[in-house]
Amino acid sequence: MVMVDLGIPPGFELLSEDFDDYRAKSAGRKSGHLEKFNVTATQAILYFDSIGAGETIALHYRLRAKYPIRTRTFQSRVYEYYQPELKSVAGPVAMEVRKRRESKGGEKDGRKAGTP
């Protein structure tokens, strides 16, 4: 079993439906199948059945900013469940979310106020 521990930056929420979609799409694979996942305020832990040598998994997921913030992500890592010393780590990344500026005429970045 291969574990992926994704750090969720402060001030963000993870949209877990992206993991649900990937889990359903990967169900028939011999490797790279997402068995399950757990999401906390600071991390998402993904449980893959296996990942073959030299195999690449592309997993796209979205984060939603709750408010303007300047922050750093938490570290992320991948490791084997039964041999955690076999791992790879990605360090924190700086991020900044800015409040949208309203332009003249009540538009936010080219959109009318009140529209998503």
pLDDT number for residue 100: 81
pLDDT at 74 over 60: yes
Of all residues in the chain, the percent with pLDDT exceeding 90 is 66
Separation of alpha carbons 38 and 91, rounded Å: 21
Separation of alpha carbons 27 and 20, rounded Å: 11
pLDDT number for residue 29: 86
